[in-house]
Structure 1
Amino acid sequence: MTTPRPTQASRSQAVLLWGGFGACLAGIALHRAWSAIAFPRVFEHLVLALLALGAARLLQRALRWPLATVLAATWLAASLAYLGPLPLAAASLLAGAAIALGSFILPGPVALPMGLVLVAAGSGWWLSVPLHHRATDAIACLALVAWRHDAVAGALRLAWRSFDASARAAPGSAAATMLLLGLAATSAWLPTMQADDVGYHLGLAWELQATGRYAMAAAHHAWAVAPWAGDVLHGIVQLLAGREARGALNLAWLAIAAGALHATAGALGASDARRWWSVALMASLPLSLHLLAGMQTELPASALLAVLAWLVLHGDLPVARRGMAIALVYGGLWALKPLHGLAALPMLGWAAWRHRRALGAASGLLLALVAALAGGASYAHAWWRTANPVLPLLNGWFRSPAFPPTDFTDPRWHAGIGIDLPWRLTFETPRYLEGFAGGAGFVLVALAGAWWLALREPRTRALAIVATLALVGSALPMQYARYLHPSLVLLLPALVAAYPPGAAARTALWALCALQLAFATNADWMLRTGALKRVLAHPLDDAPLFERYVPERLIARTLRERDDPRPVLVVAGRVGALPELGPRARTTSWYAPALEQAAGIATADPSGQAWARLLRAHDIGHVVVDDAHATVALRNGLRLASADEVARVADATAWRLPENAGP
């Protein structure tokens, strides 16, 4: 029997594939990217992987389940131990209610993301009304699940059957993918410590928990009326759990993204194994681990973009319901962040073209209204309250009095865009992210050949074009790696569907996943400095991590317990604000331009009298400062105001001022 000779097409595929991997290895060598690996952290992930595999093997002998299924159960049990039962129960209850709502449009697992958009939209329009309490939200969720229990149970059964069938059809790929997903999920075990989360995102959830409503005080925080869908959902889960539950909700978004990528790859005709590959590539991206550790919008945006791609590709859905679902999910992307809505415009155009015969003027207007209702709550409130629907963005145009009349931007992330952006993003990552080389992953270079093949192959061409346009569109306003992540995730199903066959190519793909995992901590300072190790050592106890990384959070916990309704001023330093103090929070950072300016003037007076007058004018009850940013003027001002030190954690201090403090 003779071996078939390789065709010209297969040879060109091999050249493209191995050329990309060769370029990746050359880039690592030329830029000495290997020197940026945090080797102690790599061993942490390796040990966790071995422990999970060992536990799963023991369970597999007893249960006779596929290894992927046992691994999923193992990681879920570990998450229960490190997140706690209440957050996971709260996220599960919200998911059940979301399925109940979403199933009115489309039944099955796809109802979950649509339902989450509906919950965020419905709550967003009524955020300022004091309706948001633990009891009311729990009753509403339980009532929805009870009312639609058949739809919820049906969606869960279908999801289980699909997972089980695919895990049995490609056991090796499924097990490896579940191992990577579990390692990514460990980032969700970290308490909330990222700067934007502590300085902004947490505010909405804590304000709902404290007062039952959201005040939207743009004068105290420039982002108070920014798109809030992600934070609304975090707030609801926190209300249900009675404590912060960010990690549990992030696991739900990870599951949605994984399921949507798997289904989208299948809609492109990918085999069972290749469907798992798209999920594995996503799970191994360093930014995926980073996003699971925080509250940024790019994690839910990645999930919703993948869901949108599946809705466009799936040919068996009723046209009217598909249109409604697409409009709802597209509105949800706008509700997360304007950039996500703009990045999805090529996808929306593709959907309109595919279904142009069924899309009349009346139905088009109806779907536009659905998208506006799903995504417009924050924009409407912002326009009404501040005269700028995207405050603090574009304020040079809208000139809202709540922010200086300039267009907010971050000059750190304007390195420029060119044809070499994928290379620079991969190997010169600090120019595009607060991270290290490789922190954006290696997909764009290593799979550049597969990218070209996806653009050429008819079955993957449309999605590859749409994802490429989304990447370019996301990079145009600001070259920031995190903003490109959802579009990169969207590209993955097209890459694996067009990926050349062969055992060597398959091995190379899994080697790419391992390489990205080795660089996983290069996108996140917490993971890079050993936060995961400390979480493992202190399950369900965030105090040791707060003391090391953000001691202000422990001080905020103390101040929340004090019966003092007066404002708490955070002097900008290690953290910009502590919105977890709810409506009492004030800051001298750029989040509050008026107070920032006043603090600057006060700091220029070394006697402290200006600081004392400022504290009195704003009726400040407590001042929180990290000692490195306590200027002579501030210290003298606190002395003149007769402030007493009431709490100290590490190098952060809280001072209490008497009533009517001042000189």
Structure 2
Amino acid sequence: MISSPSSVRPPDPPLADPPLNDPPSSSAPASGWQIALLWAGVPLCAFGLFHYRLWEQWHSGRFGELLLLSLLAWGLSWPLRRFAGWSWASALALPWCLALALFAGVVPVAATLVLAATAIALGGILAGRESLALQAVCGLALLGGVLGWLLPLPVHYRWSYLCLSIVLVVLRRESLLAALQALRQGWRDAAATAPRGAAFAVLALGLASTGCWLPTLQVDDLGYHLRLPWELMEQGRYAMDPETHIWALAPWLGDVLQSFPQAIAGEEARGPVNALWILLTASGVWQLSKALGGDTRASWAAVALYASLPLTAVLAGSMQTETPTAALLVWLAVLIARAPLTQSRGLYSGAALVGGLLGLKLAAAAAAILLLPWAIWRHWRSLRPLRTLLAIALALAVGASSYVYAAILAGNPFLPLFNAYFRSPYFQLSDFDDTRWHAGFDALLPWKLTFDTGRYLEAFAGGGGFVLIALLGGWILAMTQRRTALAAVMMAVSIAIPLIPMQYLRYAFPASVMLLPLLAVMAFRVHPRRASWLLGGVCLLNVAFQANGHWMLRTGALKEAIVAHGDDDASFRHYAPERILLAELRAAPPSAGNVLALDPDIAFSAEMGMRARTVSNYDPSLAAAAIAANQDSTGAAWQSLLEKEDISEVLLRAKTLTAAQRAGLSRANATLRAEEGDAQWWSVPAKGDAR
């Protein structure tokens, strides 16, 4: 039942939670040893910087770009501050919002706003008394869960999504308007309480959002994540074919939510969707700081820390699940850290978030499960057996669709993981692993992640940020206080567990974001007069090394996007010319066959949906067949393979084309259709075709 506004308390603003009954952060003065421990990370960081000679890997050009963008944002904001009387935080937010629309596209931004309104309307049914941001994250989880079950059905069209949005928004319009009004007032109050901290945090968020300006270019996106959104946009349903892609049945909630605005807009909306996730995460970080007893300064500092992490900007330019995982995990921590539940709504909101994490990735669900001891300790008096069973059922309903379909279609609910046990025919009978990321797990791992980052991520030294070392003393201090000890332990465990089987830094990012509010709160609790200097310095150091988070940030991708005024082809020519060729292919008279990416290292064909084929590790059976075909120098094996796979279009790189592949294309009478840089598009005529 949808409650009327008169029966519902106005939502809490996303940046101003009701005060807790716990003592404030400045309740008692800190001793000298506590202050010394808090600042102990600074000399450690300085030693690491000099020992590893990080200045040699520092990219001054990227830092200069960020500095210039900051100055431009301040310059554009000044008239609003001077003549309109806006706060600096509000004035600074406007240029970044306009820049997102300019570089990511007005239509994708508008479609993402439709997604946000739909999520708030849907989430408000479950969490109507909560903040607007919590309603949004719950609604996104619920929406992704429902659409996940419906993927095989031909119901995923622009008109069906718009009808769903209109119905939900109309039914919930009064509550939605009340929540927006509360948001506006909450924002004003939060910005007025700590204006400098608010302006600094908004500026940091704006710099992080520059990753949203880039078109979709990262390898996993072009070879995997784009497949589901493009298939839904063009076919209205998802084929679920593990034969042609080993990740076809992997948890898909993140890609499903990317599909919603893409289907409405008729074009990709990855940047705006990631901007939405970043805002929701920032709001959750704020609320978690307040729930842990922090004041407004600590909350803004925690937001700035999150925004300054290099991986925040890096992930904003990708479709990886860690961006939405951070949002859902932080908000789950908010629900746990609050005063014990008195109503079932909080329990069901938490269940929706756990289900959303399950639907994003198995590791994300594991991070949620690791928080259970903290949740039980905080709320065990309010738990009831029936409510708990209903909450578990809700979580499974939201997040289990991919696992159920994978079990039915492939015989392995976690395909391609754990296949040594499930023995699915669609993957080798061994557990999936990536041997690149086995540098070892030991007590020095936080140090190595910070200063020897390239061993743990496709990045450069410092590309993971400096929080784990610079603010190590804050975490130790949290361990010494009864109120925060269990939270500190659980958060640290959530960071460590994903790194035990595979030491890959990206997997620890969401839990690291969850830890930031605790570190900020401890800093202001121990040294309130100078904590802003410590936390601000860490933020500046993180931003200075933002380019080290990913190779693309070091090669001028942002500069190209700005100069091209949002023309994606400028970036595609440099990083993924296949995307230009695929656009030409779609514009040409349609062919019935499949599209093959012939280079095993450049599997950029996912946007062709069910027609996409690749000889990379995404399709082990076809990759093995390609290796065998390369042994036949006459090209007959390749000709046969092209016929067997019903290939009508081929993407290749001329420099990596083998002699056997060249002979096979010749025997198949393939013709060159278009060329972009080193990338080429060839067409293969069907048998009996005179073309």
Structure-1 residue corresponding to 2:605: 578
- Taking the aligned partners of 2:456 and 2:265, their CA distance within structure 1 comes to 36
Deviations 1:227-273 (A, max 9, x none): 00000000111011111000011011001000010011011111111
Alignment of 1:289 with 2:313, yes or no, is yes
- Taking the aligned partners of 2:246 and 2:511, their CA distance within structure 1 comes to 27
Structure-2 residue corresponding to 1:3: none
CA deviation after TM superposition for structure 1 residue 414, in Å: 1.1
Q: Is the 8 A contact 2:212 2:274 kept in 1?
A: yes
Alignment of 1:93 with 2:93, yes or no, is no
Once the two structures are overlaid, the 10-residue window that deviates more, 578-587 or 149-158, is 149-158
Deviations 1:378-412 (A, max 9, x none): 10011111000111111111110111111111011
Q: Is the 8 A contact 2:579 2:604 kept in 1?
A: no
CA deviation after TM superposition for structure 1 residue 317, in Å: 5.4
Taking the TM superposition and a 5 Å limit, the aligned residue runs for 1:575-654 are 575-654=602-681
Q: Give the secondary-structure state (helix, strand or coil) at the position aligned to 1:244.
A: coil
Q: Is the 8 A contact 2:578 2:604 kept in 1?
A: no
Deviations 1:39-73 (A, max 9, x none): 11110000000000111112211210110011111
Q: Is the 8 A contact 1:535 1:545 kept in 2?
A: yes
Which residue type is aligned with residue 73 of structure 2? A
- Taking the aligned partners of 1:418 and 1:445, their CA distance within structure 2 comes to 15
CA deviation after TM superposition for structure 1 residue 177, in Å: 0.5
Q: Give the secondary-structure state (helix, strand or coil) at the position aligned to 2:216.
A: coil
Matched residues, number = 656
Structure-2 residue corresponding to 1:270: 294
Taking the TM superposition and a 5 Å limit, the aligned residue runs for 1:69-84 are 69-84=90-105
Q: Give the secondary-structure state (helix, strand or coil) at the position aligned to 1:653.
A: strand
Tell me how large the CA RMSD over aligned residues is. 1.4
Q: Give the secondary-structure state (helix, strand or coil) at the position aligned to 2:294.
A: coil
| Match for residue 442 of structure 1 among 466, 469, 478 | 466
TM-score by length of 2: 0.93
- Taking the aligned partners of 2:119 and 2:304, their CA distance within structure 1 comes to 26
Taking the TM superposition and a 5 Å limit, the aligned residue runs for 1:37-48 are 37-48=58-69
Change (3 A) 1:559 1:318: farther
CA deviation after TM superposition for structure 1 residue 372, in Å: 0.6
Deviations 1:390-444 (A, max 9, x none): 1111111111011111111101111111111100000010110000000111000
- Taking the aligned partners of 2:367 and 2:291, their CA distance within structure 1 comes to 22
Alignment of 1:321 with 2:345, yes or no, is yes
Deviations 1:99-154 (A, max 9, x none): 11111121231100000001000000010100000111011112211111112112
Q: Give the secondary-structure state (helix, strand or coil) at the position aligned to 2:165.
A: helix
| Match for residue 485 of structure 1 among 493, 509, 514 | 509
Once the two structures are overlaid, the 10-residue window that deviates more, 441-450 or 625-634, is 625-634
| Match for residue 135 of structure 1 among 159, 171, 185 | 159
- Taking the aligned partners of 2:389 and 2:373, their CA distance within structure 1 comes to 15
Q: Give the secondary-structure state (helix, strand or coil) at the position aligned to 1:379.
A: helix
Q: Give the secondary-structure state (helix, strand or coil) at the position aligned to 2:647.
A: coil
Q: Give the secondary-structure state (helix, strand or coil) at the position aligned to 2:675.
A: strand
Structure-2 residue corresponding to 1:515: 541
CA deviation after TM superposition for structure 1 residue 627, in Å: 1.7
Q: Is the 8 A contact 1:641 1:661 kept in 2?
A: no
CA deviation after TM superposition for structure 1 residue 200, in Å: 0.4
- Taking the aligned partners of 2:275 and 2:652, their CA distance within structure 1 comes to 34
Q: Give the secondary-structure state (helix, strand or coil) at the position aligned to 1:569.
A: strand
| Match for residue 207 of structure 1 among 231, 248, 264 | 231
Which residue type is aligned with residue 322 of structure 1? G
Q: Is the 8 A contact 2:217 2:576 kept in 1?
A: yes
Which residue type is aligned with residue 113 of structure 2? S
Q: Give the secondary-structure state (helix, strand or coil) at the position aligned to 2:125.
A: coil
- Taking the aligned partners of 2:211 and 2:604, their CA distance within structure 1 comes to 23
CA deviation after TM superposition for structure 1 residue 15, in Å: 1.6
Structure-1 residue corresponding to 2:22: none
CA deviation after TM superposition for structure 1 residue 463, in Å: 2.1
CA deviation after TM superposition for structure 1 residue 574, in Å: 4.4
Structure-2 residue corresponding to 1:530: 556
Q: Give the secondary-structure state (helix, strand or coil) at the position aligned to 2:687.
A: coil
| Match for residue 64 of structure 1 among 73, 82, 85 | 85
Which residue type is aligned with residue 465 of structure 1? V
Which residue type is aligned with residue 642 of structure 2? L
Change (3 A) 1:324 1:8: closer
Q: Is the 8 A contact 1:28 1:34 kept in 2?
A: yes
Which residue type is aligned with residue 518 of structure 1? A
Deviations 1:175-207 (A, max 9, x none): 001000000001100000000000000000000
Q: Is the 8 A contact 1:577 1:585 kept in 2?
A: no
Taking the TM superposition and a 5 Å limit, the aligned residue runs for 1:346-361 are 346-361=370-385
Q: Give the secondary-structure state (helix, strand or coil) at the position aligned to 1:270.
A: coil
Structure-1 residue corresponding to 2:170: 146
CA deviation after TM superposition for structure 1 residue 456, in Å: 1.5
CA deviation after TM superposition for structure 1 residue 503, in Å: 4.0
Q: Is the 8 A contact 1:435 1:525 kept in 2?
A: yes
Q: Give the secondary-structure state (helix, strand or coil) at the position aligned to 1:586.
A: strand
Q: Is the 8 A contact 2:634 2:663 kept in 1?
A: yes
Q: Give the secondary-structure state (helix, strand or coil) at the position aligned to 2:215.
A: coil
Alignment of 1:555 with 2:576, yes or no, is no
Which residue type is aligned with residue 601 of structure 1? A
Structure-1 residue corresponding to 2:46: 25
Q: Is the 8 A contact 1:573 1:629 kept in 2?
A: no
Q: Give the secondary-structure state (helix, strand or coil) at the position aligned to 1:357.
A: helix
Taking the TM superposition and a 5 Å limit, the aligned residue runs for 1:370-519 are 370-499=394-523, 500-519=526-545
Q: Is the 8 A contact 1:573 1:625 kept in 2?
A: no
Which residue type is aligned with residue 442 of structure 1? F
Change (3 A) 1:587 1:19: same
CA deviation after TM superposition for structure 1 residue 14, in Å: 2.1
Q: Is the 8 A contact 2:30 2:527 kept in 1?
A: no
- Taking the aligned partners of 1:317 and 1:82, their CA distance within structure 2 comes to 43
- Taking the aligned partners of 1:301 and 1:501, their CA distance within structure 2 comes to 32
Change (3 A) 1:584 1:438: same
**Identity across the alignment (%):** 41
TM-score by length of 1: 0.97
Q: Is the 8 A contact 2:635 2:665 kept in 1?
A: yes
Deviations 1:308-346 (A, max 9, x none): 011112227543111101111011101000001111212
CA deviation after TM superposition for structure 1 residue 363, in Å: 2.2
Once the two structures are overlaid, the 10-residue window that deviates more, 211-220 or 316-325, is 316-325
CA deviation after TM superposition for structure 1 residue 77, in Å: 1.4
Structure-1 residue corresponding to 2:5: none
Which residue type is aligned with residue 534 of structure 1? E
Q: Give the secondary-structure state (helix, strand or coil) at the position aligned to 1:370.
A: helix
Structure-2 residue corresponding to 1:4: none
Structure-1 residue corresponding to 2:258: 234
- Taking the aligned partners of 1:60 and 1:266, their CA distance within structure 2 comes to 28
Deviations 1:340-373 (A, max 9, x none): 1111212223212322222232222211111111
CA deviation after TM superposition for structure 1 residue 161, in Å: 1.7
Alignment of 1:546 with 2:572, yes or no, is yes
- Taking the aligned partners of 1:608 and 1:155, their CA distance within structure 2 comes to 65
- Taking the aligned partners of 1:274 and 1:645, their CA distance within structure 2 comes to 60
Structure-2 residue corresponding to 1:304: 328
Structure-2 residue corresponding to 1:566: 593
Structure-2 residue corresponding to 1:104: 125
Which residue type is aligned with residue 242 of structure 2? A
- Taking the aligned partners of 2:293 and 2:622, their CA distance within structure 1 comes to 57
- Taking the aligned partners of 2:64 and 2:79, their CA distance within structure 1 comes to 23
